[in-house]
Structure 1
Amino acid sequence: MSIKSSLVFACAVFNLSLYFGQEKIIDTVYIFDNQMNKVKLFHKISTLTPADIQKNSSNLSEVLRFQSPVYIKENGRGAVSSPSFRGTTAQQTAFVWNGININSQFLGQGDVNNIALFGYDQMEVKSGGGSVIYGSSAIGGSIHLNNDLSFNQGFNGLLNSEVASFGTFNNFLKASFSNEKFSFKVSGNYVISENDYEVPEAQNYINRNGKFYNTTYNVGVSYKIADRQTLSWQSQIYDASQNYPIFSENGNKSKYETQTFRSLLSWDINRNRFSNTLKTAYTEDNFQYFGIYKAPSTSGGINKNYIVRNDFNYFISPKWNVNVIGEFQQNQGEGLGDSGIQKVSRNVGSVAGLLRYFTTPNLRFEAGVKKDFVEDLNSPLLYSFSGKWKASNWYSVNLNFSKNFRFPSFNDLYWTPGGNLNLRPETSNQADMNHEFKVQDFKLSITPYYMRITDMIRWLDTGLGYWAPTNTNKVESYGLESQLSYEKKFNTHFIRLSAGYILTKSINLESQKQLTYVPLHKVFMNGDYQFKFLKVYAQGMFNGLTYTTTDESRPKALQPYFVMNAGASATIFKKYTLGFKVNNITDTIYETVAYYPLPKRNYSITGTINF
């Protein structure tokens, strides 16, 4: 479904004449994630543009750490990294590529630093559950990596090159062409870093064996095969190598390699009253772990997923809309080496229905229900309810309830020894209420939330020499997400400021202790100023005390820290841009995972050509 169908919603909200008169407006952009524009009608979504992403070009971890409410724990710059929404785990965060859930079937999560950073047209961050639409793992929140294709834009190109501290080189090339019926876009990115930074104040830490590199290729094509029908294809190839840091010169060097292929074909039909999107997708993730750097791999895996998804959307009337989503997947996996996992597969099907009601231009509701059918597992009936009311020009409120889940991963079920075929899916019930205030150029968003997770899957010591997963904890998570923003343009000046504060209590109900690596307080701030050809930005992030042990030991906790970055760029002749960035201006010593400090002050120079 293209942006056509999403604009239909806006038409329904405003009046009947717009609903039937939108045909010419909607003919310019094709968006691969057809559901996201509907989600935005009822949920607060944070959108990051390619320019936002460029500010933290080292990796996806840096982007999310400084520009979102997500807590990122990273085992040193560029190494293994995992996200946490609202006090949940990495397995309870869904990564969604163009509407397709791409969490690893082996681990049940996404490694943030092994997900491509460049090549997307926008990145969107959604806090709160979304399993009715986006499936397993969408419990704490979801991170959306989206592409679109524009028509009637002619030829455009961009080349960006960056040289940074620690032997880092980052190159990105993008080109696109489109006319009235055809749109094509291709991009490539290559990043390499010796990553040999030092932090003498942290027990003379040297990031030995920290080298990483990755290469990404993206291709997108869209063609209008008939009046109101579009056939589109998006594909991504990703190849990466990531060394694991060691603590001494004589330490055992190891590394991790991964290769990813994703391909999505979509056929969209858009009419005045209905639209239908049929998608077929194939995703493949291969990985190899090398216990000894230059020796053969000691473990690994191959994961292949075949996906068919149909999304039917129909306006019964300008006020009533029904949306039915059916999906079938076959997940295949084969473990290599130490995992002990033989060839395994499972079939996963689901049917979801959503009903939306637009009572007035300022009041709307959505109710959804979903049933998953996971081979050899009992899956719960999921539901969601959302309502949004614009009470006045300066205040609006939206309320959300949902039940979400995560089914066990291949490692949870089949790892040898320890895999547990009797595991139950994790489930959560959650509620949040978002209050939005707008006064002139200021916007304030305040969202209190509550979540209760049951049957959490934990790997515990069996006492027999190995660990095994079991359904244990009940977790209660509650807190507050807030953000204040200001945006103003006057003459040739533009200012944009934003600051977010997150309070998170995530308690293991058995021990009554805060979960590990869940900071009670987080603050992130971003500021942009533009005058004609000159741009300047600054960003800061404060992280409160973070426990690393289940007994809330303060001596072993990560101490609070504040980190600040800044950059400036100048554009000449509207085509050439030269930029300079300073990361960690404050030269702060800080860790997001115990014993793995992140870099002190470092620099980069960037050059961009638009053609």
Structure 2
Amino acid sequence: MKKTLILILSSYGCFLFGQEKGIDTVYVFDSQMKKVKLFHKVNTITPQDVEKNSTNLSELLRYQTPVYIKENGRGAVSSPSFRGTSAQQTAFVWNGININSNFLGQGDINNIPLFGYDQIEVKPGGGSVIYGSGAIGGSIHLNNDLSFNKGFKGSLFTEIASFDTYNNFAKASYSNDKFSFNVSGSYSISQNDYEVEEKDYINRNGRYYNTSFNAGAAYKIADHQTISWQSQFFDASQYYPIFVENGNKTKYGAQSTRSLISWDINTNKLSNSLKAAYAEENFQYFGDINTPKTSGGTGKNYIFKNDFNYFILPKLNVNVITEFQVNKGEGYSSGIESISRNVGSLAGLLRYFPTKELRFEAGIKKDFVEDISSPVLYSFSGKWTPLQWYNVGLNFSKNFRFPSFNDLYWNPGGNLDLKPETSIQADMDHEFKFGDFKLNISPYYMRISDMIRWLPTPYGYWGAHNTNKVESYGLESQLTYNKEFNKKNSLRLNVGYSFSKSIDLETKNQLMYVPIHKVFGNADYRYDFFKIFVQGMFNGLTYTTSDEKRSDALNPYFVLNAGISATVLKKYTLGFKMNNITNTVYETTAYYPLPKRNYSIFATINF
């Protein structure tokens, strides 16, 4: 193997370049994530974890993270709630690039591919200094990396499930010491015609399908320089459920294209990542599935971003991030004509590592959004390890979200006088280690001002307004246990609990679709070639109206899933999963129950 200079975590807890060492180099597209993990708790979901919840991204996040997912029936419109915030206050980040919709200001989870990433990472808390507009409650990171010196690898995953559901995913990669390439694709389709007798509900016209394709490549043009490329293509169609047999059938189509080119330089004192990206979203709504589209739109983003990192001293690091975007949009039957907006930003971060037990980071950022006055943002983080079994972190930041195209230009209802939403947030992370156990406890507080809401007007339509202030506070905790008994026998546990109060300071009521309590847990046991997993989720009482009307609230529920699999010859895996073992009747959105007990069989081939 070729000897390469690599970035390592030094005994002082900071990133330094160490001595030459023969390893397989891994290139990561989101260069900031390693630095983020020095100060913030980040939950990482691996491709193996994805196979447990392979229906869609909504299901995966629901069972493996503290995020609340509001889904209008399985596979339909879906949105996240981080720490009591809205979907618009959650940033979706693809390989370091914010991909929230120009029109909606959010990501529709079920119109984002589930497969094709090397890690899915979930970061609670504000992050606008690094990841921009919308990173108020938290951010969801869809990351790819490219390894060198790995040769050829490939895998195939296929699943047959209830409701005529078929999920397929294939991936192949090749790399040597100079060049790395991977390609993957997925296809999912479902009639999705489940029934919930207790609610007198049939998921009529609920079918969906989606296809995604991912490709990436990297080439070392010199010892310390790499050129890389990553692209994603996605096409989907969702048919919206109807409540009666002869109801009007509607559907929604979505297509997205993302492409990113990066030039990275790494030396023993500095690193620089220069990125150029293009992201396009297209959507169409059909008020009748047998007629042409009723409305739609096309959004295009041209993004240029530079991330410069330099060690002034071995313990002092400066990071400068500059970004420029051109956001374009064109609507159809929405009153939105051809529009364009320039967005620029300049951010600076200073990191100081006085001892191996102590580290600090301070950041400041100014965004320049055309025709919108944006605030100065800032952040401060510190982490201290006073004891071998305990460390504590403190994070404080100001974050924001500027209005989306729909907020400004939708006719009728858009409001050109809207101000950006802003938030002040603080959280404290406590981490305890006891043998193979690790416990994280994170209390937090957040105050949001100028929240953008769509409210009824005296003229009979809904309009966008800066309204109430919101105060959110609560606690997130997570307990993990990892034990390798021997080479053939291991156990992994992961249990999380979140308490969320998100209060409208005008009405003093809990916000809609913010459960006060949520518990999720996953247990994995492996013995030789045999694996079993069990996962469960409890969701507490959830209000669906702004006046906390108990009769309209979603009742608490508990859902239990399990699966088994066997691997032979280290290449072939066959498994079986049972979802909702307890046959629980539950909803994450009023009037749209999710499936009762259902099954799937799956197979994986690695070569």
SS of 2:521's partner is strand
**Is the Cα–Cα contact under 8 Å of residues 4 and 21 in structure 2 kept in the other structure?**
no
**Aligned partners of 2:352, 2:246: CA distance in 1, in Å?**
65
Are 1:561 and 2:561 counterparts? Answer: no
**Is the Cα–Cα contact under 8 Å of residues 242 and 256 in structure 1 kept in the other structure?**
yes
CA deviation vs aligned residue, 1:499-528 (integer Å, no higher than 9, x gap): 111000000000000000000000001100
The code of the aligned residue for 1:435 comes to H
Instruction: Please report how far the alpha carbon of residue 362 of structure 1 lies from its aligned counterpart in structure 2 after TM superposition.
Output: 1.0
CA deviation vs aligned residue, 1:163-183 (integer Å, no higher than 9, x gap): 000000011010000000000
**Is the Cα–Cα contact under 8 Å of residues 283 and 304 in structure 1 kept in the other structure?**
yes
**Aligned partners of 2:14, 2:110: CA distance in 1, in Å?**
45
Instruction: Please report how far the alpha carbon of residue 22 of structure 1 lies from its aligned counterpart in structure 2 after TM superposition.
Output: 4.0
- Counterpart of 2:581 (choices 577, 585, 590) is 585
**Is the Cα–Cα contact under 8 Å of residues 12 and 358 in structure 1 kept in the other structure?**
no
- Counterpart of 2:296 (choices 280, 297, 300) is 300
The code of the aligned residue for 2:136 comes to I
Match of 1:358 in 2: 353
**Aligned partners of 1:420, 1:124: CA distance in 2, in Å?**
34
**Is the Cα–Cα contact under 8 Å of residues 6 and 34 in structure 1 kept in the other structure?**
no
- Counterpart of 2:270 (choices 258, 267, 274) is 274
**Aligned partners of 2:23, 2:408: CA distance in 1, in Å?**
46
In structure 2, relative to structure 1, the CA distance for the partners of 1:487 and 1:458 (3 Å cut) is: same
- Counterpart of 2:462 (choices 449, 457, 467) is 467
Instruction: Please report how far the alpha carbon of residue 185 of structure 1 lies from its aligned counterpart in structure 2 after TM superposition.
Output: 0.2
Match of 2:190 in 1: 193
- Counterpart of 1:488 (choices 480, 483, 486) is 483
**Aligned partners of 1:518, 1:457: CA distance in 2, in Å?**
17
**Is the Cα–Cα contact under 8 Å of residues 385 and 401 in structure 1 kept in the other structure?**
yes
In structure 2, relative to structure 1, the CA distance for the partners of 1:5 and 1:518 (3 Å cut) is: farther
Match of 2:435 in 1: 440
In structure 2, relative to structure 1, the CA distance for the partners of 1:101 and 1:23 (3 Å cut) is: farther
Match of 1:518 in 2: 514
**Aligned partners of 2:292, 2:595: CA distance in 1, in Å?**
31
CA deviation vs aligned residue, 1:207-254 (integer Å, no higher than 9, x gap): 000000000000000000112100000000000000000000110000
Match of 1:210 in 2: 206
**Is the Cα–Cα contact under 8 Å of residues 12 and 319 in structure 1 kept in the other structure?**
no
**Aligned partners of 1:420, 1:610: CA distance in 2, in Å?**
53
CA deviation vs aligned residue, 1:411-451 (integer Å, no higher than 9, x gap): 00000112111000000000000000001111110000000
SS of 1:69's partner is coil
Structure 1 residue runs of 4 or more that deviate by more than 4 Å after TM superposition: 4-7
CA deviation vs aligned residue, 1:535-589 (integer Å, no higher than 9, x gap): 1000000000000011101111000000000001000111100010000000000
**Aligned partners of 1:227, 1:434: CA distance in 2, in Å?**
39
Are 1:254 and 2:250 counterparts? Answer: yes
- Counterpart of 1:476 (choices 449, 468, 471) is 471
In structure 2, relative to structure 1, the CA distance for the partners of 1:295 and 1:510 (3 Å cut) is: same
SS of 2:587's partner is coil
**Aligned partners of 1:45, 1:15: CA distance in 2, in Å?**
18
**Aligned partners of 1:173, 1:285: CA distance in 2, in Å?**
24
Instruction: Please report how far the alpha carbon of residue 15 of structure 1 lies from its aligned counterpart in structure 2 after TM superposition.
Output: 8.6
Are 1:88 and 2:61 counterparts? Answer: no
**What root-mean-square deviation, in Å, do the aligned CA atoms of Structure 1 and Structure 2 show?**
1.4
The code of the aligned residue for 1:367 comes to A
Match of 1:454 in 2: 449
**Is the Cα–Cα contact under 8 Å of residues 196 and 595 in structure 2 kept in the other structure?**
yes
Instruction: Please report how far the alpha carbon of residue 13 of structure 1 lies from its aligned counterpart in structure 2 after TM superposition.
Output: 2.4
CA deviation vs aligned residue, 1:440-472 (integer Å, no higher than 9, x gap): 111110000000000000111111121110100
- Counterpart of 1:221 (choices 217, 220, 226) is 217
- Counterpart of 1:37 (choices 24, 34, 38) is 34
In structure 2, relative to structure 1, the CA distance for the partners of 1:6 and 1:319 (3 Å cut) is: farther
- Counterpart of 1:123 (choices 117, 120, 124) is 120
In structure 2, relative to structure 1, the CA distance for the partners of 1:12 and 1:262 (3 Å cut) is: farther
Match of 1:58 in 2: 55
Match of 1:379 in 2: 374
* TM-score of the aligned structures, taking structure 1 as reference length: 0.97
Match of 1:417 in 2: 412
**Is the Cα–Cα contact under 8 Å of residues 278 and 311 in structure 1 kept in the other structure?**
yes
CA deviation vs aligned residue, 1:262-288 (integer Å, no higher than 9, x gap): 000000000000010000000000000
- Counterpart of 1:347 (choices 337, 342, 348) is 342
Instruction: Please report how far the alpha carbon of residue 5 of structure 1 lies from its aligned counterpart in structure 2 after TM superposition.
Output: 12
Instruction: Please report how far the alpha carbon of residue 317 of structure 1 lies from its aligned counterpart in structure 2 after TM superposition.
Output: 1.1
Are 1:534 and 2:530 counterparts? Answer: yes
In structure 2, relative to structure 1, the CA distance for the partners of 1:474 and 1:20 (3 Å cut) is: closer
CA deviation vs aligned residue, 1:259-317 (integer Å, no higher than 9, x gap): 10000000000000001000000000000000001210000000000000000000011
Match of 2:96 in 1: 99
**Aligned partners of 2:520, 2:586: CA distance in 1, in Å?**
16
**Is the Cα–Cα contact under 8 Å of residues 5 and 20 in structure 2 kept in the other structure?**
no
Q: Percent identity?
A: 72
* TM-score of the aligned structures, taking structure 2 as reference length: 0.98
In structure 2, relative to structure 1, the CA distance for the partners of 1:219 and 1:431 (3 Å cut) is: same
Count the aligned residue pairs: 604
The code of the aligned residue for 1:119 comes to G
